[in-house]
Amino acid sequence: MSVVLRRDRRVDARVVEGFSRFGVATVHEAQGRTGLMASFMRPIYAGATVSGSAVTVSVPPADNWMIHVAVEQCRRGDILVVAPTSPCDCGYFGDLLATSLKARGVLALIIEAGVRDVRTLTEMRFPVWSRHVSAQGTVKGTLGEVNLPLVCAGALVNAGDIIVADDDGVCVVRQERAAEVLKACEAREAKEAAVRARLAAGELGLDIYQMREALAAKGLTYRDAED
Amino acid sequence: MSVVLRRDRRVDARVVEGFSRFGVATVHEAQGRTGLMASFMRPIYAGATVSGSAVTVSVPPADNWMIHVAVEQCRRGDILVVAPTSPCDCGYFGDLLATSLKARGVLALIIEAGVRDVRTLTEMRFPVWSRHVSAQGTVKGTLGEVNLPLVCAGALVNAGDIIVADDDGVCVVRQERAAEVLKACEAREAKEAAVRARLAAGELGLDIYQMREALAAKGLTYRDAED
Amino acid sequence: MSVVLRRDRRVDARVVEGFSRFGVATVHEAQGRTGLMASFMRPIYAGATVSGSAVTVSVPPADNWMIHVAVEQCRRGDILVVAPTSPCDCGYFGDLLATSLKARGVLALIIEAGVRDVRTLTEMRFPVWSRHVSAQGTVKGTLGEVNLPLVCAGALVNAGDIIVADDDGVCVVRQERAAEVLKACEAREAKEAAVRARLAAGELGLDIYQMREALAAKGLTYRDAED
Amino acid sequence: MSVVLRRDRRVDARVVEGFSRFGVATVHEAQGRTGLMASFMRPIYAGATVSGSAVTVSVPPADNWMIHVAVEQCRRGDILVVAPTSPCDCGYFGDLLATSLKARGVLALIIEAGVRDVRTLTEMRFPVWSRHVSAQGTVKGTLGEVNLPLVCAGALVNAGDIIVADDDGVCVVRQERAAEVLKACEAREAKEAAVRARLAAGELGLDIYQMREALAAKGLTYRDAED
Amino acid sequence: MSVVLRRDRRVDARVVEGFSRFGVATVHEAQGRTGLMASFMRPIYAGATVSGSAVTVSVPPADNWMIHVAVEQCRRGDILVVAPTSPCDCGYFGDLLATSLKARGVLALIIEAGVRDVRTLTEMRFPVWSRHVSAQGTVKGTLGEVNLPLVCAGALVNAGDIIVADDDGVCVVRQERAAEVLKACEAREAKEAAVRARLAAGELGLDIYQMREALAAKGLTYRDAED
Amino acid sequence: MSVVLRRDRRVDARVVEGFSRFGVATVHEAQGRTGLMASFMRPIYAGATVSGSAVTVSVPPADNWMIHVAVEQCRRGDILVVAPTSPCDCGYFGDLLATSLKARGVLALIIEAGVRDVRTLTEMRFPVWSRHVSAQGTVKGTLGEVNLPLVCAGALVNAGDIIVADDDGVCVVRQERAAEVLKACEAREAKEAAVRARLAAGELGLDIYQMREALAAKGLTYRDAED
């Protein structure tokens, strides 16, 4: 009953790529604070920002067979999302799989487990967000599933959803909402740029956001220190 | 009953800045091994060393309203110290607040919670020591306190205490003891420089510190391996 | 009953150094997936790869006296391996001890506890793999053991075993098996190079490793998505 | 955009209740090892086994307002499933809410956060599976959602899914599959009873499951110890 | 510079004992949600509720010498509060120390470290709230402090403060506020009793607390499920 | 190269059983504070104390095949010790395996992984010390080893070593030292009984152990509080 779903549909590439202009924090806010993976998902090197279309892989603990199966289902612009069925810190993925994914135009790996060969992956500039780094290898003995919905680091991911990742973490955007969320990102970014300029000039958030009255209404009190 | 304490007093700036010449390890030793925050407090980028005067902010979980309030209480040379009233990994702080703090001359943020926009903060060279990195935002609905004593990452911090932070972690120096501790740092550093030269020349700590007799008295025994 | 074992024997230096050409992942695989330390052992800076002969030190919690004792037992090409008898995040080791070890030609420190002065250690290029970073110092009051077998981060280490460490973690090679494992590393690397070239050219692991039949036999099913 | 979904449909009560005869381990196996929550979900007291229909509640960190909203949506035989949108150990739930739920015939609470008044809850025999126990209270200021799909402790839960919980943890059964999974539980239990009798009589699993040949084929070797 | 502060003053015994009628959750709420220790502090057995006057002990990691010193400073009705200067899971305390404390009328131990002999302690009905349970012993070599302020599990504790502990955790009440907080507990409990009766009779919190309007104003929407 | 070592030798049963009269804390102290497993190893129910001869099993993550193999190697009075080659919280062991072990006279299971069916195991009074409780099952696809030395929860265990476990944790006694350590336990217990009586009568440890002089020599100072 182990299934690989073959999927041709992807969200329009310009929309998918559009998200990489924004940080994860912006995307997460723009879509109403949903879809964020747990904060233990960390990049293997700093500075990468990616957005791509999810190919999902559910794997048994300590068994990476299905990642090999999943590679074939990946296309240019995709991001592989891997979740084990129970917690595991094994290194499911190393430079050989990265070479294969890169050859197919895959942009990144998101894995709620371990990754290895991180020095080589860093040199290759193949970004990975993972829960662990470990040289511990895996076996190839038990099946899993490709492109079925899964939960990765606390977030539900469907095949084809947009994954956005940067130094702040990893966020999932439902494919149905992609265009709408992208617009909301642009709007948010524009608004923030204006605020940023005022803050840089020394204005206070208290005034820009007009918080003083609400704070006083809640009972905020100012006192002078006696020391 | 939520209070903001307005404080003018700061420790003499030359004393405060003096600590940044020393690492946290030196300061911690020099003041009798007190005031260190827990080791889960990590810098968002390597290489920064700061010392500044604490402005303290007690915040509810997932609510950063009081940070906006606290900004106004900050001055050139201050460091913002934020502790949630229960554990929280939310990203309380991002590039907008950093822009605002930078405009006021604030040197760094210490937060026993999450921070976001870490790539931008790194580019801005605004250092943060935090327990988490997370894009998860916060709300603005519940009050807290500014410049009252609080516990951050296991250390008691009073407004105006000196905060010293580097790649080893974060240490608090009581403002009353600042001048005395700074002198102790200088003395310690001088002593260590002499030892360092002897160790680099190949002398053993066993001899420099004259440990052999004490070790033998405790019962240390040397044996030759038979393999 | 506290013992320091004096040992002259080391594995042939060319064999020991030979391991540094390979990553930890390769060594771990080549020796049948044994000897890996737990994944919480992380380098203080990225990019270092070392191999050396283990000098083992068992230390009490928060007491680094025996590290001073152990320095004398170290020689050019050694790596110090330190394990506390119960979990401890204290900074047992800083730039003074690193200066001393460097003067003796020691290559690295592996410690299932804390390290401090990490900025200076990074500048000195003295690599450390540790469980924690902490400025918290230690005392010198209780004995331990040098060069007796110990368990460090879940791995058994005997004095003289080969330690290999890189960004993926830390692995122990039994000294008796060193030459044999080194050969297995070379064989493995050669084989991987061939596979890497084919993957880079776009071939699939599914075909290179001839997995399709075994997957089908296990019941893997392909379906076309209907979305 | 905060929504409460009013739902009348429940799986047939005899089916729902049927699961409480089986342990979580049996249910999890019977449905193909899916739907298990993370192992950090622990009961506040030992010995309870429940099965019920899920009412789902997504809550902000440290804010339990929506639990009050959700109570009204609960009926006899339901189980409340609560997940915060970011990790939180606050005590969202205590004896007052339990009194209210009990009055409505609700069987249990599943919460990936904190619970309090656990002594009283134990005396009331109102079972709770939670990630934390904490007296820390919550506020009532931000909305969430009731009866929309959510991820709780790594498992996807839809309103109306069957929740089964015992000392081994918490498992979710999709409502569409409930009858089928219940049958599979019965079949599994019958089979296990037979095996249990043979094992109790001293037969070996190696023989009952006929493993010896497969083990030998994999290369298992027996040797006599020389000590 | 290691100090033992001899203190005679205690809060009036009837006030101190009064707190044991209330749970920690009630006390914590009644004093404005302050003073709670971290949720990792757990009782070694269920069902104990205590309140007493704090004798504080700051101890080095893995060294329990100062607990022996502190025993002499304890009186009938006191509770010993122990915090290590860096994290440690060693068993600082066992049945001998418990026998000694019991002989002096001490009610409980609160320790942000390890405890051992928990079976015997349970049989003696000497309650302990600790972070760890471990048979690992400690040494007696380094001094600490008795009755000076310390931070235990994130909470500031002064000698003489009231400690309240039950299955929900541990809370600290400032001695200056003890009488006032006790009254607030009584008021809170009375109010809750009335609410409890209404909830038990089937009334909803939504109505008792009149939340419906505020929820609607925030934008809460009800929809009927279509399934 | 997967091996099962068949071993007939056991330490004299009276010696092995003798340890169960002492707690883990006593045994650990009596043998010089060695052999303790990490404090995350917890019993599934309180109150059991066991001692037995170790049969060791090294298992792959999420694969319990070798436990079935190991059962055959067990005899009356043995304790099964299971360690995964990388961290895993799966439930490797449940009531069927317990039935089988019980039929052979095996006393307990020690496993640095997960266990399931804990309610049934509790009813059967088959004690287990584990790192996790989880209903998550395992596969049977990869070999491991039986009766070879392994590291379990940080402690080295050889087949035939004595395992002692109680509510404080798990300790390993080398079989060569068993008789000697048992005697040391008896001596220690006798000494403690005398001290216990004096402490119960109100004498202070400070006086019984004659600590006052040493404390003063280290610089301990007494001061009267001014409050």
pLDDT for A1: 66
Residues of D in contact with B63 (CB under 8 A): 62
Where does the pLDDT of residue A209 fall: very low under 50, low under 70, confident under 90, or very high at 90 and above? very high
Residues of C in contact with A6 (CB under 8 A): 222-225
Contact (CB<8Å) A142/F142: no
Tokens 């600490």 — which residue?
Answer: E144
Residues of A in contact with C195 (CB under 8 A): 96
User: Between chain F and chain D, are at least 3 CB pairs below 8 A?
Assistant: yes
Query: How much is the mean pLDDT over chain C?
Result: 97
Ramachandran region, residue A220 (left: φ > 0; alpha: ψ -120 to 50; beta: rest)? beta
Q: Give DSSP secondary structure letters for A31-70.
A: TTS--BPPTT-EESSTT--EEEEEEEEEE-TTB-HHHHHH
Where does the pLDDT of residue B1 fall: very low under 50, low under 70, confident under 90, or very high at 90 and above? low
pLDDT for C1: 65
Contact (CB<8Å) D221/F133: no
In angstroms, the separation between the Cα of residue E150 and the nearest Cα of chain B is 8
Contact (CB<8Å) F137/D171: no
Cβ-nearest to B139 among D60, D90, D134 = D60
In angstroms, the separation between the Cα of residue F6 and the nearest Cα of chain E is 32
Residues of D in contact with E193 (CB under 8 A): none
Query: Could you count the other beta carbons within 10 Å of the beta carbon of residue C179?
Result: 14
Cα gap F36→F28, rounded to integer Å: 7
Contact (CB<8Å) D204/F100: yes
Cα gap E117→F24, rounded to integer Å: 8
The residue among F5, F8, F44, F55 with the most chain D CBs within 10 A of its CB, best to mutate, is F5
Mean pLDDT of all residues in C8-28: 96
The residue among B86, B161, B181 with the most chain E CBs within 10 A of its CB, best to mutate, is B86
Residues 6+ apart with CB under 8 A from F93: F64, F67, F82, F109, F111, F115, F116, F128
Q: Which two tokens stand for residue C184?
A: 């297995």
Where does the pLDDT of residue D57 fall: very low under 50, low under 70, confident under 90, or very high at 90 and above? very high
Is the four-CA dihedral C212, C218, C219, C223 of positive or negative sign? negative
Strand, coil or helix: what is D150?
strand
Cα gap D96→D33, rounded to integer Å: 36
Tokens 């739907």 — which residue?
Answer: D35
Cβ-nearest to B154 among E33, E39, E154 = E154
Query: Which residues on chain A place their C-beta less than 8 Å from a C-beta of chain C?
Result: 1-9, 45, 65, 68-69, 71-72, 89, 91, 94-97, 99-100, 102-104, 114, 116-120, 122, 132-137, 140, 142-143, 147, 159-160
pLDDT for A144: 97
Cα gap F169→E116, rounded to integer Å: 9
Cα gap F184→B119, rounded to integer Å: 59
pLDDT tens sequence across C67-104? 999 999 999 999 999 999 999 999 999 999 999 999 99
Contact (CB<8Å) C89/E85: no
Cβ-nearest to A139 among F60, F134, F136 = F60
* Listed residue (C38, A118, B15) closest to F38, CA to CA: C38
pLDDT tens sequence across F48-74? 999 999 999 999 999 999 999 999 999
Contact (CB<8Å) F7/D227: yes
What is the separation, in whole angstroms, between the first and last Cα of chain B? 72
Strand, coil or helix: what is D152?
strand
Cβ-nearest to F86 among A60, A86, A89 = A89
- Contact between B10 and B75 under an 8 Å Cβ cutoff? The reply is yes
Cα gap F98→F64, rounded to integer Å: 13
The HSE-up count of residue F96 (CA atoms within 13 Å, CB side) is 25
Residues 6+ apart with CB under 8 A from E10: E16, E53, E75, E77, E78, E160
pLDDT for D227: 72
Contact (CB<8Å) A86/F62: yes
Residues of A in contact with D87 (CB under 8 A): 38-39
* Listed residue (B58, B64, B54, B55) closest to B144, CA to CA: B58
Cα gap A217→A195, rounded to integer Å: 25
Which subunits sit against E, judged by 3+ Cβ pairs under 8 A? B, C, D, F
Q: Which two tokens stand for residue B207?
A: 């001899």
- Contact between D51 and D19 under an 8 Å Cβ cutoff? The reply is yes
Mean pLDDT of all residues in A20-37: 96
Residues of B in contact with A217 (CB under 8 A): none
pLDDT for A79: 98
Q: Which two tokens stand for residue D144?
A: 């969430």
pTM over 0.90: yes
Instruction: Please name the residue of chain E whose CA is at the shortest distance from the CA of residue F165.
Output: E135
The HSE-up count of residue F158 (CA atoms within 13 Å, CB side) is 13
Where does the pLDDT of residue C226 fall: very low under 50, low under 70, confident under 90, or very high at 90 and above? confident
Instruction: Please name the residue of chain A whose CA is at the shortest distance from the CA of residue B104.
Output: A202
Q: Give DSSP secondary structure letters for D83-129.
A: EESS-B--B---HHHHHHHHHTT--EEEEEEEE--HHHHHHHT--EE
DSSP state of D21: G
Residues 6+ apart with CB under 8 A from C61: C84, C85, C86, C87, C88, C90, E61, E62, E88, E90
Residues 6+ apart with CB under 8 A from A61: A84, A85, A86, A87, A88, A90, F61, F62, F88, F90
Q: Which two tokens stand for residue F85?
A: 């080659």
What is the separation, in whole angstroms, between the first and last Cα of chain F? 72
Residues of A in contact with C221 (CB under 8 A): 1-4
User: Between chain E and chain C, are at least 3 CB pairs below 8 A?
Assistant: yes
* Listed residue (C112, C95, C103) closest to C163, CA to CA: C112
Contact (CB<8Å) A140/C49: no
- Contact between F110 and F82 under an 8 Å Cβ cutoff? The reply is yes
Contact (CB<8Å) E151/B154: yes
CA C95 from chain centre, in angstroms, equals 20
Contact (CB<8Å) B143/A211: no
Query: What residues are paired with B224 via a beta bridge?
Result: C6
Cα gap C108→C122, rounded to integer Å: 12
Q: SS in 3 state form for chain C?
A: CCEEEECCCCCCHHHHHHHHHCCHHHHHHHCCCCCECCCCCEECCCCCCEEEEEEEEEECCCECHHHHHHHCCCCCCEEEEEEECCCECCECCCHHHHHHHHHCCCCEEEEEEEECCHHHHHHHCCCEEEEEECCCCCECCCCCEECCCEEECCEEECCCCEEEEECCEEEEECHHHHHHHHHHHHHHHHHHHHHHHHHHCCCCHHHHCCCHHHHHHHCCEEEECCC
Size of interface B-C (CB pairs under 8 A): 123
Size of interface B-D (CB pairs under 8 A): 43
- Contact between C6 and B222 under an 8 Å Cβ cutoff? The reply is yes
Cα gap D49→D72, rounded to integer Å: 24
Cα gap C69→C74, rounded to integer Å: 10
C-alpha dihedral, C29 to C34 to C35 to C41, nearest 10°: 70
pLDDT for D1: 65
Cα gap D174→A136, rounded to integer Å: 35
Cα gap B63→D61, rounded to integer Å: 9
Helix (DSSP H) and strand (DSSP E) numbers for chain F: 8, 12
Instruction: Please name the residue of chain C whose CA is at the shortest distance from the CA of residue F34.
Output: C85
Contact (CB<8Å) C85/E136: yes
pLDDT tens sequence across E39-89? 999 999 999 999 999 999 999 999 999 999 999 999 999 999 999 999 999
Where does the pLDDT of residue B226 fall: very low under 50, low under 70, confident under 90, or very high at 90 and above? confident
Instruction: Please name the residue of chain A whose CA is at the shortest distance from the CA of residue D83.
Output: A154
User: Between chain F and chain B, are at least 3 CB pairs below 8 A?
Assistant: no
Contact (CB<8Å) E156/B155: no
Q: Which two tokens stand for residue E205?
A: 């919190």
Cα gap D162→D51, rounded to integer Å: 7
The residue among C53, C65, C138 with the most chain B CBs within 10 A of its CB, best to mutate, is C65
pLDDT for A226: 84
Mean pLDDT of all residues in D36-62: 98
Mean pLDDT of all residues in A53-66: 97
pLDDT for A95: 97
Residues of F in contact with A66 (CB under 8 A): none
Where does the pLDDT of residue B183 fall: very low under 50, low under 70, confident under 90, or very high at 90 and above? very high
Which subunits sit against B, judged by 3+ Cβ pairs under 8 A? A, C, D, E
Per-residue pLDDT of chain F (227 residues; tens, 9 = 90+): 699 999 999 999 999 999 999 999 999 999 999 999 999 999 999 999 999 999 999 999 999 999 999 999 999 999 999 999 999 999 999 999 999 999 999 999 999 999 999 999 999 999 999 999 999 999 999 999 999 999 999 999 999 999 999 999 999 999 999 999 999 999 999 999 999 999 999 999 999 999 999 999 999 999 999 87
Cβ-nearest to F90 among A61, A89, A141 = A61
* CA-only gyration radius of chain D, Å: 21
Query: Which residues on chain E place their C-beta less than 8 Å from a C-beta of chain B?
Result: 1, 32-34, 36, 38-39, 85-87, 149, 151, 154-156
Cα gap E51→E23, rounded to integer Å: 10
- Contact between C50 and C107 under an 8 Å Cβ cutoff? The reply is yes
Query: How much is the mean pLDDT over chain D?
Result: 97
In angstroms, the separation between the Cα of residue A119 and the nearest Cα of chain B is 18
Q: Which two tokens stand for residue F202?
A: 């109100």
- Contact between B76 and B105 under an 8 Å Cβ cutoff? The reply is yes
Residues of D in contact with B85 (CB under 8 A): 136
Residues of E in contact with D140 (CB under 8 A): 211
